[in-house]
Amino acid sequence: MIPATKNLSLDFCVAEFGALLGRSEITGKNGAALGIEPGMAAAMQLLGQARRDKHSVYVIGNGGSASIASHTVNDFVNVAKLRAYTLHDSSLLTCMANDYGYENAFARILAEVASPKDVLVAVSSSGNSKNIRNAAVQAATGGMFVVTLSGFAPDNPLRSLGDINVWLDSRSYGQVEIGHQFILHNLADRFGASGGEPVRP
């Protein structure tokens, strides 16, 4: 929740959002700092390789992050020309949740549909959602590449599970969610700017 005393004027929020993007961090495996643009370039390389080799990209999240996943798939398919999918079809997701527990639902779906060298984009504002974390572990176990987007605590558990990890230094759901959408949209835009091929920053 945003404290009632927090300044929510549009000018203040715009300034805060710009500052948040500027201090975002992108790390690789084992927490190695990549820097913002080198990190974005590394994400482009993963997605570009998936596009060239006709591998799939799966985007997952809960609640607001599920909406981000859906929007991202629109952009990844339409603009970036990626084979991108969400995994939150209501019938399938509730089937897996009912049979295996919600914390295992995405992981069980990935175990059945994903292939090695596919890409998982795992989005969680807090980085604490167990079903998202379990999916990231399953993806890595299955030979997939994993990109995580999280916020809140710098040591949140999701942040250590990806090949590329984007972290936003804020505890505001609104700022983190919009930041994740902005970054994912920027990745699609980089493909679109070059007619579908990855572009350098």
Structure confidence at residue 196 (pLDDT): 54
Structure confidence at residue 30 (pLDDT): 87
How many angstroms separate the CA atoms of 194 and 197, rounded?
Answer: 5
pTM: 0.93
Q: Please name the residue ranges forming H helices in 114-195.
A: 130-141, 173-192
Residue 81 has pLDDT above 90, yes or no: yes
Contact 142, 110 (CB under 8 A): yes
Q: Domain 32-190: state its class.
A: alpha beta
